[in-house]
Chain A
Amino acid sequence: MRKKFLSLSTVGVPLDRVNVDTDAIIPARYLKTIKRTGLGEGLFFAWRYDTDGKERPDFPLNRPSFRGGEVLVAGENFGCGSSREHAVWALMDFGFRAVIAPSFSDIFHNNCLKNGMLPVTLPAAEVRSLIDALLAAPGAKVQVDLVEQTVTGPNGDVHAFGVASFAKACLLEGLDEIALTLADAGEIDRYERERKKATPWLFLDLAG
């Protein structure tokens, strides 16, 4: 059972950059773990800290008014690059529960949904206005309502977003997707029996 996604009313954290890649979200040296926890420490490491390990005061995550925010608002193509799910684990470990952006990389988007984190896609102009509002009033709140599929900005502006119905159900109920698929195990068995006849070379055992 994964964490259920509940509606949020939280400080919105603006990250006014495009193409935020997963190497920036969590550098590779933090991937040397066999656990899913504790990755928040490495989140945006090179952007949060200078080369002496001191916090960069101007980076949004370091500004006192944005601390504790659970919604990140960023530019297009968020989460591009590596498939590392550690990027989602790091964001969640740090405290984020949703990311709002004009677009996400496909793999990162999937990884969010598998972990109970909500990726919200809004038109670029709406994301721009949210980022501007959050920069103008640091610490202002953003509401994310998954049931109604709306984001409410600091100025009371309401933005509707789309979400696939199955993904929505999984998020709201914290469903175990593997258990659901295993309920179809009979179908998978049937598929394998048929394909073994059609393409037997794909059923040779690689371990010999």
Chain B
Amino acid sequence: MPTLFEKIRDRHVVTARGDDVLLYIDRHLVHEVTSPQAFAGLSAAGRSVRRPGAMLAVPDHNVPTTPDRSVRIEDRGSREQIQALRENALGAGIALFDIDDPRQGIVHIIGPESGLVQPGITVVCGDSHTGTLGAFGAIAFGIGTSEVEHVLATQALWQKMPLQMRVVVAGTLRPFVTPKDVILAVIAEIGAAGGTGYALEFSGETVRRMSMEGRMTMCNMTIEAGARFGLIAPDEVTFAYLEGRPLAPPASLWDAAVADWKTLPSDPDAAWDREVALDASNLEPHVTWGTSPQDALPVGGIVPDPEKQEDPGERARMRRALEYMALSPGTRMTDIPVDKVFIGSCTNSRIEDLRAAAAVAKGRTVAPGVTALVVPGSGLVKRQAEEEGLDRVFLDAGFQWRLPGCSMCLGMNPDKLKPGERCASTSNRNFEGRQGPGGRTHLMSPAMAAAAAVSGRIADVREVAR
């Protein structure tokens, strides 16, 4: 009767201490921002990396997305962090997809793409969006730098058992309604802290029918509901995605691996601490109005009125969010103009996302005054998109076609909003200043972002594409 999470956890327990278990970590991904202090700490204590062969390093947060990046990175801090990552990886014998490697990209994109993220594994990264990788039926979670150092030294981590939540999504998604809309609706339902302390498993026919790309979008944003872990049971879709990838189990071990993976799904009588059901058959494309990912509503909606909120704490939060976003209650979401459009990030920069955006962009033009960026999640996604001619579609429509990286998701590299600018973004966080100091973010799907780009305002993609 164990859940998927419990089955994976049970096979990774090295030893126990009270309620805590020492969990063995199969795979460890590192990027340039949260690892330098960990390597420095390790070195200061005279310790070494226990299992460099279990790790993969990639620069993504800081890298510019313009071609000049392989010549010189202007920002000194970024340059130093990327150089530190390079030296630490080479010094320890860790695989590195460096800045001009064709496989470089966002850490949560390249891990799955390489085949190293597999069902039944434990995988960590010093990044809160590591939950993305749970889409393969893995225990995948974000950790801080001290924990990165702990994994470097021991290949294990002390963990408490999280509570188990199941989110069952039923119904067929209507045209132009995507996994991004489903997860925004889930977060709006359970709240930004509703998943704190939980591992969250997504199941139901809607999830079963999703591609791996869509499943990753779902699990990517579980942290925005407070849950460090998002999981989806592995199935034929998972196996088909993995087969033949460079770091997937080789042919000689493939059948054994698949047989093992098939034992992982939660038992039908598994016990859940909390269950949430969502009927997605009438779900509309979603968009956020405020400064928390829970502030999502259907695109046909209006900016809510804090004064109608009974809870004084929530009322104060909403007032503050509206002030920051410079929005008035009652405004139709589709009347909100945008200055920038960002299609990218670990949430929505996979091939399927780019196809969806390109389908809307094709034959249309970015609205006057709007700057629109398309940033593929990895060099391999970029290459595939170019083979499919998507780059031409975007360029012809007036979008910019960039090199892979975290880009405008987090204001750490040259791609950022200026104070007061408003952005339609496919990323995961609409926090104050997230995309640059004073910037205002509206989260939405790639198709919705493309619709905003050609409309110059937040738009219902179903009307734009009609």
Within the complex, which residue of B18, B127, B154, B314 is in contact with A166, where a contact is CB–CB below 8 Å?
Answer: B18
On whether the beta carbons of A181 and B156 are closer than 8 Å, the reply is yes
With both beta carbons as reference points, the residue of chain B lying nearest to A108 in the complex is identified as: B144
With both beta carbons as reference points, the residue of chain B lying nearest to A177 in the complex is identified as: B150
Within the complex, which residue of B146, B249, B314, B431 is in contact with A85, where a contact is CB–CB below 8 Å?
Answer: B146
On whether the beta carbons of A181 and B150 are closer than 8 Å, the reply is yes
A105-B196, A111-B144, A188-B156 are contacts. A23–B84 as well, Cβ < 8 Å? no
A14 CB to closest chain B CB (Å) equals 13
On whether the beta carbons of B193 and A177 are closer than 8 Å, the reply is no
Q: Which of A22-77 contact B (CB under 8 A)?
A: 23-24, 27-29, 31-36, 45-46, 51, 75-77
Residue B432 lies at the interface, judged by CB distance under 8 Å to chain A: yes
On whether the beta carbons of A76 and B193 are closer than 8 Å, the reply is yes
Within the complex, which residue of B37, B47, B412 is in contact with A28, where a contact is CB–CB below 8 Å?
Answer: B412
A24 CB to closest chain B CB (Å) equals 6
| Complex Cα spacing A23 to B430, Å | 10
| Complex Cα spacing A29 to B45, Å | 29
B56 CB to closest chain A CB (Å) equals 5
| Complex Cα spacing A46 to B419, Å | 11
Within the complex, which residue of B50, B56, B128, B153 is in contact with A206, where a contact is CB–CB below 8 Å?
Answer: B56
B241 CB to closest chain A CB (Å) equals 16
* Most chain B CB neighbours (cut-off 10 Å) among A17, A77, A166: A77
A86 CB to closest chain B CB (Å) equals 8
* Most chain A CB neighbours (cut-off 10 Å) among B11, B146, B437: B146
On whether the beta carbons of B77 and A32 are closer than 8 Å, the reply is yes
On whether the beta carbons of A36 and B37 are closer than 8 Å, the reply is yes
Within the complex, which residue of A32, A184, A195 is in contact with B75, where a contact is CB–CB below 8 Å?
Answer: A32
A114-B146, A188-B154 are contacts. A46–B193 as well, Cβ < 8 Å? no
| Complex Cα spacing A90 to B418, Å | 24
| Complex Cα spacing A200 to B314, Å | 51
B7 CB to closest chain A CB (Å) equals 13
B171 CB to closest chain A CB (Å) equals 30
On whether the beta carbons of A83 and B410 are closer than 8 Å, the reply is no
| Complex Cα spacing A110 to B34, Å | 15
With both beta carbons as reference points, the residue of chain A lying nearest to B130 in the complex is identified as: A83
On whether the beta carbons of A28 and B95 are closer than 8 Å, the reply is no
Within the complex, which residue of A36, A46, A81 is in contact with B128, where a contact is CB–CB below 8 Å?
Answer: A81
On whether the beta carbons of A21 and B193 are closer than 8 Å, the reply is no
Within the complex, which residue of A80, A178, A191 is in contact with B226, where a contact is CB–CB below 8 Å?
Answer: A80
Residues from chain A with a CB closer than 8 A to the CB of B433 are 23-24, 27, 46
With both beta carbons as reference points, the residue of chain B lying nearest to A16 in the complex is identified as: B316
| Complex Cα spacing A166 to B155, Å | 20
| Complex Cα spacing A204 to B116, Å | 10
Residues from chain A with a CB closer than 8 A to the CB of B429 are 21, 23, 81-82
A182 CB to closest chain B CB (Å) equals 6
A17-B317, A27-B433, A188-B154 are contacts. A32–B143 as well, Cβ < 8 Å? no
| Complex Cα spacing A160 to B226, Å | 25
| Complex Cα spacing A188 to B156, Å | 8
Q: Chain A 148-181, CB within 8 Å of chain B: the 1/0 string? A: 0000000000000000111000000000111001
Residues from chain A with a CB closer than 8 A to the CB of B431 are 21, 23-24, 81
| Complex Cα spacing A181 to B11, Å | 19
Residues from chain B with a CB closer than 8 A to the CB of A82 are 127-128, 410, 429
A37 CB to closest chain B CB (Å) equals 10
B154 CB to closest chain A CB (Å) equals 5
Residues from chain A with a CB closer than 8 A to the CB of B153 are 178, 181-182
Residue B192 lies at the interface, judged by CB distance under 8 Å to chain A: yes
On whether the beta carbons of A178 and B292 are closer than 8 Å, the reply is no
Q: Which of B33-91 contact A (CB under 8 A)?
A: 33-34, 36-37, 40, 45, 47, 50, 52-56, 61-62, 75, 77-78, 80-81, 84
| Complex Cα spacing A80 to B53, Å | 32
| Complex Cα spacing A51 to B431, Å | 17
Residue B20 lies at the interface, judged by CB distance under 8 Å to chain A: yes
Residue A143 lies at the interface, judged by CB distance under 8 Å to chain B: no
Residues from chain B with a CB closer than 8 A to the CB of A106 are 162, 196-197, 226, 228
Identify 10 residue pairs between A and B in the complex whose beta-carbon atoms are under 8 Å apart, listed by A's number: A27-B437, A31-B33, A32-B80, A34-B80, A77-B226, A83-B127, A110-B144, A188-B14, A201-B250, A206-B27
